[in-house]
Structures are given as structure tokens and as C-alpha cells.
Chains A and B, each alone.
Chain A
């Protein structure tokens, strides 16, 4: 202290240094009651004890006891309140995208796409993210059970007892020469495949049958015919200037949707001066079709002819491509001239010629992608051969179709499973082990798989519940959830990723591979005999042998292993990057093509398409409430499947769908029939009816049972193939009506008047955009205001959403749900219009109701600067933050709902009932502890993931720097496979979001209201002629 500073005193005693004053100064608190060191006298003590005893005896009501249990053994990495991330691989479907598992206090609470993974690159689809909920599914088996085949009753079993029974059955099969069959889905794990091989080698008649309900078998088969090698090529949508999908849905459910979506959108940036063009030829309105620039509706029976007519245009009528002079090609294509095919398929004359010219103009940079299940079973391989022919003719081999690093994401074989059915019918199969598939549910009902299982003496299922197949088994030996297991995956040759447990197994389950090891060893023969160690050890050894030795890693294997675990994904040097040389196309394969188009289906006949929905896929996660409540991206209906029919067909049949009530019809394919409500689907081919598979589970669990009907029951099995498309069907009205829970089912209803001139969506075409980057953007800017603007001195959070990048896949909706503890409410509540999604995707159609164009608009709280909600709340429960966030204070909210009424975007959600009280304890574990669960009577809405903002700010503060651009990502932005959403600080002129919102494409929804939203949308740009498709 400066000498000249005067020293102040308060009393003489203080000045004189009285010891009493000194003592007082030493005490922190002057009030005696706040002294903690006070010791009660003996009398006081007795008094207190007496009073305490009296109160206890009087039985005072207590608060309910809540136990906080300390760790007995603190996990090494767990810091309470801090998230621990594990690199792993998604096990929901064989696409095997890389994920990061976020765990809190030892429990996984969120899955996010891994940025470094070459497939997912940060995004993750809705199903992948929702697979987290399966871990906590209360209907999972708690341990192995024995099933009484006659009654279906289950009895708890022990692993020891099960192993003994299995060993004796297996030994019996081996010694008796009976067949042992392991039926699985696609196994993307090379180590598991090698373990299966070792396990089955012991049995003379052992075989491994792979079968996928969502099958790409036809592609592999056609590759085998055309090039001699059975594989699925790696499709490079990022290299395609012109992508023609023929019944394929690469953005929705085909093979590797996250990867394809990312690749596709990487070429959809109009600012780069060019954009790829997507032409969809399809019978139903798929997710890919809704994103197409040009779309043609063709019924499934004509898809093959249309593909061949394109080839005919390029190779026969106007021969210009390689193979033009080839006699076999000419013969194969002779019956498919474009004009005749156009006439049959109902396309405008000249359509295919023009498309062929367009393809030729883009030769070497185009891609023909035919859906493996889109055509009728007898065309399935032929259409793939035709697509291969086109890709060869256009020189796409090696550019957009890479066979050098093939996809391993679909290895199932329809022939194999159908031959298994035949073997079962013949009683040849002694032991059947079923893992990862549910054939009793997904195989066509006509095959009678469930009944044939009765002819197999011993069946074990590895399902996590007693599903439709496991019901017919002797034992269910539940496998771990993939988040509890070790595994590795190779989704594409050369890309290896690891899956590691993020949580100890919740129940008495056992890894499928451990079970195989145990059984293999128990036989006392074969390569597994005498080995020790768990599946984890086996996996490590495989990696030591297969990966480590081939890598140029310098350190020990342990170091390499730890590194691989940390990274999650390993890419071999020089592997997986070489593109294959254009293989020699074997024209002999063209013999698959029918010499005549066959009899054209009569005009009035209906063709049934069983399609794979984006939400439920093949029904494997039927008990997942997040997925059940996720509206289908196109129809926006959840909690049900339905018969989609075109508007004109609905009129002809006299059926309708109004205000969530739909007429019920009977769908009859001859060998099976059932009743379902209709959904009038714009864009569907008028002669097509479509039903989503994946519904109608009977043994999924409490959530998934009896939701809709099982579409697979209508599937066909003919000529060694399973047909999901082009099945002749009849539809009759039952007279009943049933509710359909559609979250936006009210636009195309009577009394809508015109809503076209609403300033919600703006679009333009590429040509117009290149002339004028602000074309189509008619939103007013700088409306006058009576008020002075808010001042945001520090950060100001904002968001840009590119409508041109959003494909409607709904991954963000599940990300938001998982991140923000958004409750699932169930069908009856959705029917009352009370779904809770903070972020929804609005789907708009434009143009003709029979063949509309579609656009998606993610809609979330716009965090308006002039927020209409903020002024009307009587208790200031919703207020503006200094960083531009519109905050909702749950514990101040009294629930007037005025804010929601006054919100022009209607993005607020009200807790009509107590949704926060999750009855199933295991489901509570999935809740994000950083986000409050909202109680009854409280309004909630998107917070821009304020917990992530706080996390990012705290991180920056710890480092002593401002938040860097990209440090904070909202859950929706993080999950978006196409990076349509960008979040950041718009006060920072250099941030990515600031750059985006300044682009001429940016506009605000309902700008004329002058709410000044902080979410900027970017105009949708279509790569088509101005006059429309």
C-alpha cells in the first residue's frame, strides 16, 4: 500500500488496537447463530435429543428418500458432470457408420457421427441415432431363456445349461452328419466372419447363410454375371454430374444413406457455379424422389423396359457409346425401342431420348443407380445388368462406380436363404442358429418359415428379445446391444472401424461371438478347440494378424490397438483408394434380359410396392419409440403404416383421408391380404399402391407390437428371388375408417383455399440462380420498425439452413430428441396434434398433386429479435438473452400458452400431461443430465442447445480465448448428414454462419411480420428447366 494512503478507522477502540476489536475482526460472521463451532451445553444437548425423539415418535412426514450412491470403485475416466466420448461403430444396420458415443456417468446418452470416418463424416441417420434407445429398451431379455415351442412360453435359463444343451445338439449334428446352419444378416465384421468360419468348419454340413430383408443381392448377382465377381460396387455420388435413380433410394434406405447423402449434397452447391442433376424414375415417391430435379413416375413392371430403352437410345437407335456395334447388345435391346416403352410406361414421347442425350452429354460423370428391390422379382437381376450396361456404355466405370474398393454393406443372398428354406422343408437342417435377422417376420409369409422351423430339431436365436423367430426357437441366447460389445466392421474394403463397449452389459447377456467361442471349444475339435480367451482377445488377435502386421505402425501392437480404439477407424495405406480399371463387361450377362418386354400390365390393374421406410427400415427396431414417433419424411405419418395411393386413384376408388381419419381398405395379393387405412400420396404412380414394411410386428415389445400390418406378408418368392415390388394387388373399400397420426395432415384438405402466396418457401432454378443469385428470393428486407434494435455486444447466436441441402432425412429430429430429452407421447396424443418435437421438418409440395415437386423445411424456434412470444408472457417466463437467444424458463412458466398462440411459426410445445415421469426405469438412463425434464403444464421449445453453448463457452473460457467458430454445434447441425444446418456467432463477421446469411439466397420465413428471426433459410435451387418438369 502506498505510504500516503490514509488509514481509515471506525472507532477509537479500533485505532488503539483493542484486542476485543481484533477478535471481532477475526470472525467472519458477527451473528452468533452462524457460528459453526458452537458446542451445545449438556442441557441443550439433552433438550435437542428429547425434542428429536419426540418429533421422530410423532412421525413427521418426510420427503421421499432419494439415494445418492457414491462410486464404490470410481471408473477411471468418469468425472461426474463431464461427458466421456468413445469412438465406435453404429450397429443398427450394415452401413456401419462411424460414431462417437457420448457417455455421462458411465451411461451412453447420445450417438453422433464421427467426423473422421470416411462414410459418415460427422452425420448419422435417424435410425442410427435412435438405436441408442434400444440399449435401454425395457423389453430386452434380461438373460437367456428357454422357449416352449408348442406354447411359446418362456422360462429363464442359465448360460451353463444353455451351453450344455447346445453342445450336445451340435455334437449330435456333427456326429450324425446333420446340417448346422448359421443364419445371419450381413456381417460387416471381418473378425466375426472369420470366427464364424472357424466355428462352422467343424461341421461337415455347416453353412453360413446371410440374408438381408433390405436386400441388395440383385446388384451383387448382376455384378457376378457382368464381371465375374460378386460384389457391391462403391457408388460415388460425389463424382456424378448426372445421377439417374431407377427405383433406388440412396438418400433414404439404400445401402449407405448417410454416405450417399453427404456425397450427393456435396455437388448441390449452386454458389460453386454448377450443380449435379438428379433424375428419379420411380413408382413411389421416395425420399430420393422428393429431392429429384426431374422425376418420372413409372410402375415397377416398366422400370426394366425404361432402363433398357435408355440403353437402346445410346447403343442402338443412335449408336454412339462403346459396345454399340456388339451383336449381343443389339439383340438384347431390340425389343425395347424408346417410343414403344414410353407409350407403355405412360411417359411423354421423347422423354427417354432426351434423357439419353443428357446422359451422353454427361458421359463419364454420370451414374445409373437401379434399386435392387424396386422391380418385380423376375426383373431384379435384369435391371441391374441393364444398369451395368448403361454405366459401361457411359464410361462411368471407375468414376462413379468403383469396384476396386467395393461396399461390404450388403452380403445377403436371396438364393441362399430360399435354398435354406427348401433344405428346412426337406428336414435336412439339424441345428439352426439365427443371429441379427428375423426371418419369421421378414420372409414372405407364403414361404411359411415359421412352420418350417418346426422341422428343425434344435434352434437357438441370438435376438435381444423373444421376437417372431425366437418364439419358434428352443433357446434365446441374447446378444449384447452393440454399445455393450466389442466388434469391428469393414463397411468398405479398406475401411476398418472398431466398436467398443461404452457401458458394461446391463443384463445377463453374452456376446454372440463369445457364445460361438464357447460352443466351438466345447466340441473339443476344430480350430477353436483348446483356445482360451474371450471374444475381445480373439478380436485383438485378429487385428494383430490382419491389420497391425500390414500397417506400418512403428510402436507395439498395444499402442497400435489403443490408437485404433481412440480413432475408431483405421484406413490401410494404399487400400481403398485405388479405383478399379473398367472391368471387361461380359455381354453374356445380357441373356438375363427378357427378349420381349412381356405382356404389358393392363391399365387398370394395380401394382403393389413394398418399400423400406426411412424410419423403421426392416422393422428391426420396431420397439423403438423414437423411431415409431418419427414421422415418415414424405407422408409425415407416424405410428402406423398405410396403403399409399395416388390422388386420382383415391378418387376412382372413392376413398379419402381427412383430418387424420382415413378409409380402411383391404389389400389382397392372392396369397395374403389385410386391412389398412389409405393415405393419399401425391406423386405416386396412379397404378401403384405402396405399403411400408417394418410395421406389424407381433413380438417386438410393448411399443412396437400391433402397429400397422406386416408388409412382408404380401411379398413374393419366385424364381429364386424375393419380390417386394410389382406384385399384382386388388384393393377394396371396407367401409371402416381408422385414424392416421399425421403431424401435418391438414394442407391438402377441403376448405384450404389457396395458400400458395405465403412467404414461407422460395425456390429458383439453377439457370436463374446463375444469372441472378438472389432470384426467387422475394422476402422483404429492412421493414420499418417503431422500436430500436436490440444491442448484442458479445456473441450473437444464429443459424443458417440451406433448403437446397436439406433432403428431409429427419436425422436432426432424432438428434434433437436425444439431446434435449424430448418426450415421446404416443399415437393417441399425436392424433390430437400434441407431438413434442422441438425441431420438425415441414414438407411442402408444389405444382400438380399427381406429380408434385417437394421441398423440406426444418422448422425450429427462430429466436426472433422481436419475439412475439416474449411480449405476451405475463410472468416473464420467456425472455431475450444478451446473446440473442429466446430463453424459456421452465420453472417460471405458469402455462398460459399465450406465447404459443402468438408464435407465427408455432414451434413451441406444451406439456399437456406429465411427460417427465418416465415409468420404465431403464429408459430414464437415456436422459441427458444437462437438460431439464419439463414438468406438466410448462411450455418448452428449441433452446439452440443452450447446454452445448454453455459447454463451448466454458471450454473457451478455460482456454482463455473467445469461442472459436465451429466449436459449438447444435445437435441438429452436428447430426445433419448433408450439413444443411450451420450454427455460430453472427456477430463474428468471419464465422461460417455470418458468411452464409449474407449470401443472396438467404431469407427469413414470414419476414413481413418483422419478427427478425435469427434463423436464415437459403432458397432452394432446382437443376431443371424453368418451365417445370
Chain B
């Protein structure tokens, strides 16, 4: 069974230049880890670290002063906090999808990008995980959301979707870290073998005694497959659970059955966009154009196009159902979204998520770095506003008109938004510095088949041994 046979859709063009040797892979991927950081990295890290610092200062001040420093008000109990939470969780989804589902489907083109996508997942979930904590009025009691035995016999409410969230996030984070770490083990071993001194010691510990024996590989492959199997349902379940926060409530605009698939599609959409954003930068900064090729990026752009249309379809369905249902509250909520005081946010969402990705129908644009960079950022802007639209416009005008209000963010809301981006990118930059950003072991397997097909092209009559990797 050959890879080519398994993936008939694989392009004729090899994913990686077949002239590269395995040693080249090790050298190219490890190089950024082994040289002193460049000025660009230092500046970026400095900025993100500063943003992170102000983020935590904001959190500290907010815990001291009260959640009222945000712009929330009486009907609008959630805004930037839960918007960012769902946004970051959504970002995380691409990582799991790329790692697990594409792995199970033997999409070998994922090998160049899965490591950074997984890292992105973990950092996104870490970032997301902060929001449920800091959005609490009394953050210092956040542990009460965990069902732990206590002498007061206090227990959590398993009927509350927020408790489901607690389980969803922690499960997701745990599985993602395990999956990521398992994949890293062979690469840590490669790094260990290349390094000396304290780096060698640390990578040695991290590589858990990996020697690359046949047994190791066998166990590794099994464990990786199993974790991929475990992660796959999470892609669908985690965001479905978050959508229950809204779907199980009775607020018009939240109370809708379309939410689970709609949220999952949106999550994958935004996650892929974020991967594209990161990779465009990463391949440039760390000179990995040869590993993360335009082919990879184009594949992801295709997924962005598809999922973009899925969310567009969801918007249309929502609107249609609201108008068709005859429910005055539901109808009002959607008219208010499109034409009320928050119409600007709705139309940002529609433009960025539905209109802009249509540009990817054209191959030229799918393969254009500046275009995809801009589009991927716009998609994430749009996806942030999608959550904002769902949360804020539904809350600000609900059943009883005397409750209505408007939501105006304060400087602290902005501080939280930029802070979360700083926090996320700071981790990502650290990751790029200390961990191999591309899975060397997996890329080698692609390289192997690339070499084979190159060899086959050069000597078509030469007999190739069938090889299963």
C-alpha cells in the first residue's frame, strides 16, 4: 500500500522538495532553536510580553475593584469576556482537526503544519481558559466550579452548561497536551542528540529516553493513533458544548438548535484562518518556506472557503427561521441584529466571514501570500464579531423593552482583548524558540515518499518496493 494510492487526491507536485535529505530536515528545523534569537523575535516577544503584563495587571485591578470596570451592564452580562472565550476556543479547533482528523484520514500534507497548529490549539485553549475565570464576579472562588468533595457538602449544578464547559475545556486541554507531547517525543530526541550541556539534559528528560528503536516507533504510532482517535470526537463535542451555553438558554438569538454544528464550523473556520496567519509569518521568520509550502497554504485556504460558506449558510438559516417562526421575540432579535444599534457588528461579521473568503475561488488568490494573510486576519475579525453579535445583540434587547440598553466597552475591555492576543502570541513565540515548529519525524515520512515519487519519475521502470510507513 503506498501513500500515493491511499491519497489519490495528493497533488502531483511534491509537498517537499525531494532533493532535501533527512539531515537537511533536522538541520533546517532545529536551526532556529540553536542560534541566538534574532532582533525581530526579540521585538515581537517584547511587545507580546508587555501586552501580557498589562493583561494580568488588568486582571489584578479588576479583581481588586470589581468587574464593573468593564463596560458590562444590566442586560448585557457578558460581552468581551465570553466573546473572547468562545473565540479562542474556536481558534483551538483547527489544531485538533489538523492533528487528529487529518491524521486519521492520512492527509499527509498536514505534517508540515500540524505541530504549530497543535501548539496554537494549546495556547488558544490556555488563553480561552482564562476568560471563564476572569469573567467571574469573584474570581477567587473559581474553584467552586469544580466538583470536589468538601465538608460543607456543596456540589456543583450539573444542569448548568457552565459546568459542562468546565469539563469540556479541561478535557480538551488535557488531550491536546498529551497529543502534542506524544508527537514531540521523537523530535525532542533528535534535538537531544544534536545538543550539548544543559540543553541536552532538558531535551533528554523531555524525550523520555527515546532511542528510535522499532519498538519505540511501534508504541509511538499506536499511542498517536489512539490519541488521534480520542481527539476526533472532541473536535465536534467541545464546541458543541460551548454552544449549549447559548442554545439551552431561553434568550431569543441564543435559544436555537442550529448552534452546535454552526459553532463547530465557525471554530474550524477561524482556527484555519489563525493557522494561516501564523504560518505565513512563521515560514518567513524562520525560513521554512521549503517545508510549509504554498501547497499547504492553498489546501488550508480551500478549507477556509468551505467552512466560510458553512457559516454563511448558518447565518441565512438562522435569519430565515427567525422570520418564518412567527415568534415576535425571535423575529425582533434578528431584525435588531441586522438593523439595530449593533448592526455594524453584524455586517462586519457577514462581510468578513461570508463575502471576503469568496476570493478563494480563484487559485491565484489562494496562492497569494499577501491575500491569504489579509483574508485570514479578516476572517478572525469576522469570527470575533460573530460571537460578539450573538452574545451582545441578543442580550441588549431581549423580552421586556424597559430592560434594553446599549453596550459600550471601556478601556479595560480593550485591554483584555489585546492582552489575550499578547498572551497567546507570547507563548507561540516561546514555542518557536524552544520547540521544533515542524514535526521532523513526520516530515521525513513525507520526504520519503516524495523521494520515492521523484525517483519513480526519473526511472519509471525501476522497481519500487511497496512500503508502508
The chain A residues found within 8 Å of chain B, CB to CB, are 636, 659, 743-744, 746-747, 749, 751-755, 757-758, 760, 829, 832-835, 840, 842-844, 859, 868, 871-876, 892-898, 900-902, 904-906, 909-914, 936-939, 1005-1006, 1009
Contacts and interface: CB of A to CB of B under 8 A. Distances in A.
Chain B residues touching A, majority SS: loop
Most buried by B among A746, A834, A868: A746
B255 to A, nearest CB: 10
Given A758-B329, A936-B138, A1009-B250, A747 B398 contact: no
B251 A751 contact: no
Contacts of A744: 401-404
Contacts of B76: 833
A190 to B, nearest CB: 45
A911 B77 contact: no
A843 to B, nearest CB: 7
A873 B157 contact: yes
A367 B135 CA distance: 59
Most buried by A among B67, B68, B78, B336: B68
Most buried by B among A636, A874, A893: A874
B399 A758 contact: yes
Interface stretch (B158-166, B189-197, B415-423): B158-166
B14 interface: no
A902 B145 contact: no
Contacts of B142: 894
Interface residues of B, number: 56
B209 interface: no
A856 to B, nearest CB: 11
A72 B313 CA distance: 77
Contact of B77 (A754, A842, A859, A900): A900
B404 A910 contact: no
Contact of A906 (B74, B154, B156): B74
B67 A872 contact: no
A842 B68 CA distance: 25
Given A659-B406, A913-B65, A753 B400 contact: no
15 contacts: A744-B403, A758-B328, A758-B329, A758-B400, A833-B405, A871-B159, A871-B248, A894-B144, A896-B135, A900-B77, A901-B78, A911-B66, A913-B68, A937-B137, A1005-B400
Interface of B: 65-68, 71-78, 135-138, 141-142, 144-145, 154-157, 159-163, 166, 245, 248-251, 328-329, 332, 335-336, 339-341, 343, 395, 397-406, 408
Contacts, number: 177
Contacts of A843: 402
B138 A938 contact: yes
A897 B251 contact: no
A657 to B, nearest CB: 14
B412 to A, nearest CB: 12
Given A897-B78, A904-B400, A876 B250 contact: no
Which 5 A/B pairs are nearest by Cβ-Cβ distance? A895-B137, A937-B137, A912-B68, A897-B77, A833-B73
Contacts of A871: 157, 159-160, 248
B332 A755 contact: yes
Contact of A873 (B135, B160, B249, B405): B160
Contacts of B154: 875-876, 892
A901 B77 contact: yes
B74 A874 contact: no
Contact of A753 (B72, B73, B335): B335
Contacts of A895: 67, 136-138
A896 B157 CA distance: 13
A844 B136 CA distance: 34
Nearest to B68: A912
Given A872-B249, A904-B250, A912 B78 contact: no
Contacts of B329: 758
Contacts of B405: 746, 833
Given A757-B328, A758-B328, A906-B403, A894 B137 contact: yes
A752 B328 CA distance: 13
Contacts of A893: 137-138
Given A874-B166, A912-B68, A905 B341 contact: no
A620 B161 CA distance: 51
B400 A859 contact: yes
A967 B398 CA distance: 37
Given A747-B401, A905-B399, A912-B67, A874 B160 contact: yes
Given A746-B406, A937-B66, A906 B78 contact: no
A753 B332 contact: yes
A936 B74 contact: no
Contact of A874 (B65, B157, B250, B408): B157
A868 B78 contact: no
A658 B78 CA distance: 23
A912 B400 contact: no
A474 to B, nearest CB: 46
Most buried by A among B74, B135, B162, B339: B74
Contacts of B402: 636, 743-744, 747, 840, 842-844, 859
